[in-house]
Structure 1
C-alpha cells in the first residue's frame, strides 16, 4: 500500500511503472487477504483505490489493466450508486470494513498495486 495518495488514473500509471497493476480482486479469498492487509497498515485509516472502473460503459465494471469483467463483487450496501453521474472508479471503503464503493476518479486516495511473481511469496504487497 502506497503512502503517496493519488487520483485513480495516476495510481494506475504509478503501478504500471513497476510492472504492476492496481489490485484486481477476483475471488473472495483475495478480497479477504486485501482487507486483512489493509487493516495491518493501521496508519492508513482511509479508503484505497483498486483496479475496477466503469469508465468505458456505465454500469459495466471492468478490471481496467487486464480488461476483464468484474465477476466477483463485494459492494457496500447501495453501491455502486454513481452519485451525480460522476463515480466511475472503484475503492475499498475504510468505514465499511473495506466493502467496495464507486468514487470520483479525481479523488486522491492511497492505493494497492498487485504484481505477478514466479516465486511463492505469501503476504507480500507491492505499492
Structure 2
C-alpha cells in the first residue's frame, strides 16, 4: 500500500470539513441579518384594480320592519271625471194612495167648453162692433181706445194703466195707421207712450225697450230748450217731440 493514499484521504476529508464549516458561518450570518432589519426602501406604485367579483348568492330574507310615520298630507287633487252610471236600484215600495180629485164627468166638461166658446164668440162680436166707432180700432188683436178729455203725459199714462192698458205706442205702420184713423176723427193730437231718456236721448217704449219704428215729422225730434222728452201724435199722423207738461187727448192700447 502506498503512503500517499492516506494523505489524499486526509486532504479530502479536511476539505469537506472546511466547506461544511464555511456553510455554517454563512448560515450564522444570515441569522444575524434577520435579527437586525435594514432601512426600508421607497414604497412601490399601487397596482391596478382587480376585476369586479362575481355577484354573491341572495341572502336570507330579513324580518318585516316597523311601519314608518305617516307623511304630510298632499294638496287636494282635482275632481275626476264622473264615473259610469251604476245599475238601477231596487224598486221602491208602493206609495200611499193620493187624495181623490173632484168628480168631473163628460157632461160637465162639455158644458164648460160650450160656455168658453160662447165667451170667445161674444168677444169677437164686440171687437167687430167697436171697429165701427171712430174712437176704437182693432189691429191684429190689439185694441186702440180713445178717452174723452185732455191731460199731461204722466196722468195719461196713469189712466191707461189703471184701466189695464198702456199709452198707445205704435210698433209698425199698420198700428200707426190705426191711431191716425182715431186722431183724424177727433181732430186732436194725442200722447204716445214713447219717451226719451234724459242722458242718451234714446226714445223707448213703456217697457224700456228702444223703439223699432218711428214716423217723425220733418226736422224732428229737435228737443227745443232741452225739454222735449215726450212724443205728440199729430193729426197728419206724423210724430213731434214735445214737453211732457203739454196736455193732449188720450188713446190707450189693450192686448
In the superposition, the TM-score normalised over structure 1's length comes to: 0.81
Structure 1 residue 107 corresponds to structure 2 residue 252 = no
Tell me which stretches of 4 or more aligned residues in structure 1 moved more than 4 Å: none
In the alignment, is residue 33 of structure 1 matched against residue 172 of structure 2?
no
For the pair 1:73 / 2:218, whether they are aligned, the reply is no
Q: If each structure's helix is expressed as a fraction of its own residues, which one has the higher value?
A: 2
5 Å-filtered alignment, 1:17-28, equals: 17-28=162-173
* Alignment partners' CA distance in 2, 1:11 and 1:70: 20
Unmatched runs of 5 consecutive residues or more in structure 1: 117-127
Q: Please, which runs of 5 or more residues in structure 2 have no aligned partner? A: 1-145
Equivalent residue for 1:91, pick from 223, 229, 232? 232
Distance 1:5 1:58, change over 3 A: farther
Q: Distance in 1 between matches of 2:202 and 2:230?
A: 11
* CA-CA distance at 1:111 after TM superposition: 1.6
Q: Distance in 1 between matches of 2:166 and 2:199?
A: 21
- Number of residues paired by the alignment? 110
Give the alignment's TM-score, normalised by structure 2.
0.42
Q: Whole-Å Cα distance in 1 between the matches of residues 189 and 200 of structure 2?
A: 22
Q: CA 1:74–1:5 in 2, change beyond 3 Å: closer, same or farther?
A: same
- Pairwise CA RMSD: 1.2
* Per-residue CA distance 1:79-118 (angstroms, 9 max, x = gap): 1110010000011112xx12001110000110210011xx
Larger RCO (alpha carbons 8 Å, 6+ apart): 1
Equivalent residue number for residue 20 of structure 2: none
